[in-house]
Amino acid sequence: MKYLAEFHDPQLVGGLLAAIRQSVAKFSGSMTFMEVCGTHTMAICQHGIRALLPASIQLISGPGCPVCVTPVGYIDHAVALARRPETIITTFGDMVRVPGSSSSLMREQAAGADIRIVYSPLDAVSLAEQTPESTIVFLGVGFETTAPAIAGALLTAEKKQLSNFFVLCSHKTMPVSMAALLKDPDLQIDGYICPAHVSAIIGAKAYEPLAAEFRVPCVVTGFEPLDVLQGILMLSRQVIAGEARVETQYSRVVKPEGNLRAQEILNQVFEPCDARWRGIGDIPGSGLKLRPEFAGYDAASLQVEIEPPFEHQGCICGEILKGKARPTDCPLFRSTCTPEDPVGACMVSSEGTCAAEYKYAT
């Protein structure tokens, strides 16, 4: 298949690895690159890319999994809504197993709650249209990649004049969080492997303020092995040259300006807000909330009793999401915490750092 087989070519992999080694051969220091996309994390682990690189290049994983960074309080809110009479919770599948303070959506479903996995927010809109006697809540979790689709669903619900459709929002934006990580004095990031899915929406230009203010190279990179290796080569060359620019390796998909129509829909429905990231804390301006004219669709307006949030004290998911620790540093990893019985959100999602490490690197 075009744009797949050629990005797995062993000879081309060898050529890129040789170019990376040559690039850093006379560089006396080391460089640390962070990927902030769960799909990149999975690809790097699956193809053993870390083990192929020179010792002077280190890859660390950041908060690139939207499920992983969803705060425990949000899960508790969703659980409370699931217990509400005549309420149907609709969600993408990777949310149902995320642990809250004392329960999860999977446990609530087993106890009789009506929780349905959908493949599109529009499926939830259709359900609201078909079951006017029920309250339909869609769990709006994700980065700029999924937010436009949810915005489109809300516009559709508005057009259909549906009064029983609601969204519980926990959307987050990537460039603001990337800037927050660069302000952490205990974290060394010499370059960003920028997220491809997000960049297809917001465009490569969105990272230019980041590169200019913090003097950090940024390369928008695809997901195949050759994509990732070429992105690392581009970053290493910038570091060695003392440059800090935004480059696009994934030019076959990502454009400088991004998807303008998707941005228009997103901005029509959402506006920036402060947001809490699981394990990281509050990051000002890193979230999206419904604009006042769409407040009637906000599931937060539905009256429920939410328990005080509590997280497992042994889980170091927060440090892992910040790139300060590896999953193997966690005492729960592979013992108490496994994909079958996860303690932390990083093990729940198929794109979580702990899940990737568990599946491919151990």
Residues 278 and 357 in one domain: no
Q: What is the reported pLDDT for 1? A: 46
Residues 219 and 286 in one domain: yes
**Residues 331, 353: Cα–Cα separation, whole Å:** 15
Residue type (1 letter), 217: P
**Confidence category of residue 8, pLDDT binned at 50, 70, 90:** confident
**Residues 273, 61: Cα–Cα separation, whole Å:** 25
Q: Tell me what the mean pLDDT of segment 46-58 comes to.
A: 94
Among candidate residues 198, 190, 195, the one with its CA nearest the CA of residue 142: 198
Q: Tell me what the mean pLDDT of segment 297-324 comes to.
A: 91
Residues 124 and 206 in one domain: yes
Instruction: Look up the domain containing 348 and give its range.
Output: 317-361
CB 90 within 8 A of CB 122: no
Q: Tell me what the mean pLDDT of segment 160-178 comes to.
A: 97
The DSSP secondary-structure symbol of 301 reads G
Residues 207 and 340 in one domain: no
Average pLDDT, the chain: 94
Please provide the DSSP assignment of 337-360 as one string: B-SSS-SSHHHHSTT-HHHHIIII
**Is residue 128 predicted with pLDDT exceeding 80?**
yes
E-state strands within the chain: 31-35, 57-61, 87-91, 114-117, 135-142, 165-172, 191-194, 218-220, 246-248, 270-277, 281-290
Q: What percent of the chain has pLDDT over 90?
A: 86
Q: Give a yes or no: residue 26 inside a domain.
A: no
Residues 354 and 216 in one domain: no
Q: In what order do the strands lie in the sheet with 246-248?
A: 57-61, 31-35, 191-194, 218-220, 246-248
The pair of structure tokens assigned to 245 is 């620019």
Residues 346 and 224 in one domain: no
Q: Give a yes or no: residue 96 inside a domain.
A: yes
- Total count of domains within the chain: 2
**Residues 126, 74: Cα–Cα separation, whole Å:** 24
Q: Give a yes or no: residue 348 inside a domain.
A: yes
Q: Give a yes or no: residue 206 inside a domain.
A: yes
Q: What is the pTM of this model?
A: 0.92
Residues 99 and 215 in one domain: yes
**Is residue 160 predicted with pLDDT exceeding 90?**
yes
Residues 164 and 203 in one domain: yes
SS3 5: helix
Q: Give a yes or no: residue 224 inside a domain.
A: yes
**Residues 76, 70: Cα–Cα separation, whole Å:** 11
Q: Give a yes or no: residue 156 inside a domain.
A: yes
Return the higher-pLDDT residue of 280 and 61. Answer: 61
Residues 251 and 355 in one domain: no
CATH of the domain at 168: 3.40.50.11740
**Confidence category of residue 362, pLDDT binned at 50, 70, 90:** low
Among candidate residues 343, 308, 315, the one with its CA nearest the CA of residue 331: 315
Q: What is the reported pLDDT for 268? A: 98
Q: Give a yes or no: residue 1 inside a domain.
A: no
Q: Give a yes or no: residue 56 inside a domain.
A: yes
Residue type (1 letter), 228: V
Residues 217 and 335 in one domain: no
**Residues 217, 303: Cα–Cα separation, whole Å:** 46
Model confidence pLDDT, tens digit, residues 196-254: 999 999 999 999 999 999 999 999 999 999 999 999 999 999 999 999 999 999 999 99
Cβ-Cβ contacts under 8 Å for 3 (sequence gap 6 or more)? 252
Q: What is the reported pLDDT for 2? A: 62
Among candidate residues 187, 147, 145, the one with its CA nearest the CA of residue 167: 147
Residues 245 and 324 in one domain: no
Model confidence pLDDT, tens digit, residues 60-71: 999 999 999 999
